[in-house]
Chains A and B, each alone.
Chain A
Amino acid sequence: MKYIIAIIKPFKLEEVREALGAIGVQGITVTEVKGHGRQKGHTEFYRGAEYAVSFIPKVKIEVAVEKAMADRVVETIQAAGQTGQIGDGKIFVLPLESAVRVRTGETGSAAL
Chain B
Amino acid sequence: MTVPPKLRQLLVGLPAGLALSSLLSAAPAYAAATVNKGDTAWMLIATILVILMTIPGLALFYGGLVRTKNVLSVLMQVFICFCMISVLWFIYGYSLAFTNGNAFIGGFSKLMLAGVDYNTLAATFSKETYIPEFTYIIFQLTFAAITPALIVGAFAERMKFSAILLFLALWFTFAYLPMAHMVWWWAGPDAFTLSADNIDAVKAAVGEAAANDFLAKLAAATDDAAKAVVLGDYATAVNASNGWLFNKGALDFAGGSVVHINAGVAGLVCAIVLGKRLGLGKEVLAPHSLPLTLIGACLLWVGWFGFNAGSNLEANGLTGQVVFNTILATAVAALAWTAGEWVTRGHPSLLGAASGAVAGLVAITPACGWVSPTGALVIGLLAGIICLWAVVWLKAKLGYDDALDVFGVHGIGGILGALLTGYFVNPGIGGVGVTDYLATDTSVKALEYSFSAQMSAQIYGVLTAIILSGIVSYVALMICKYTTGLRVPEQEEREGLDIGSHGERAYS
Contacts and interface: CB of A to CB of B under 8 A. Distances in A.
A46 B352 CA distance: 8
Nearest to B347: A45
Nearest to B349: A45
B391 A48 contact: yes
A86 interface: no
A47 interface: yes
B355 interface: yes
A48 B287 contact: no
A47 B351 contact: yes
A44 interface: yes
Contacts of A48: 391-393, 395-396, 405, 408
Interface residues of B, number: 18
Interface string A37-62: 00000001111110101000000000
A44 B286 contact: yes
Contacts of B352: 47
B345 A45 contact: yes
Interface string A13-36: 000000000000000000000000
Given A45-B345, A45-B347, A45-B349, A51 B286 contact: yes
A51 B284 CA distance: 7
B276 to A, nearest CB: 12
A45 B346 CA distance: 10
Contacts of A47: 351-352, 355, 391-392, 405
Nearest to A44: B286
A46 B341 CA distance: 11
Nearest to A50: B345
A36 to B, nearest CB: 15
A49 B355 contact: no
B392 to A, nearest CB: 5
Interface size grouping (class) on chain A: under 10
B285 interface: yes
Contacts of A49: 285-286
Contacts of A51: 284, 286
B341 A45 contact: yes
Interface in A50-85: 51, 53
A47 B408 CA distance: 11
A47 to B, nearest CB: 5
B265 to A, nearest CB: 19
A48 B281 CA distance: 11
A41 B311 CA distance: 49
Contacts of B408: 48
Q: Which residue, of A45, A47, A48, A51, has the highest number of chain B Cβ atoms within 10 A? A: A47
A53 B284 contact: yes
A53 B284 CA distance: 9
Nearest to B409: A47
B351 A46 contact: yes
A45 B344 CA distance: 12
Interface string B339-381: 0010001010101100100000000000000000000000000
B388 to A, nearest CB: 8
A57 B284 CA distance: 16
Contacts of B287: 46
A98 to B, nearest CB: 34
A45 B287 CA distance: 10
B286 A46 contact: yes
Contacts of A53: 284
Nearest to B337: A47
Contacts of B395: 48
A46 B34 CA distance: 51
Contacts of A46: 286-287, 349, 351
Interface centre among B284, B391, B395, B396 (most CB of A within 10 A): B284
Contacts of B347: 45
A48 B286 CA distance: 11
Contacts of B405: 47-48
A44 B288 CA distance: 13
A53 B286 CA distance: 11
Nearest to B387: A47
Q: Which 7 A-B pairs have the closest CB atoms?
A: A48-B392, A47-B391, A48-B395, A48-B391, A51-B284, A46-B286, A45-B345
Given A45-B347, A47-B352, A47-B405, 8 more contacts: A45-B341, A45-B345, A46-B349, A47-B355, A48-B391, A48-B408, A49-B285, A53-B284
17 contacts: A45-B341, A45-B345, A45-B347, A46-B286, A46-B351, A47-B351, A47-B352, A47-B392, A47-B405, A48-B392, A48-B393, A48-B405, A48-B408, A49-B285, A51-B284, A51-B286, A53-B284
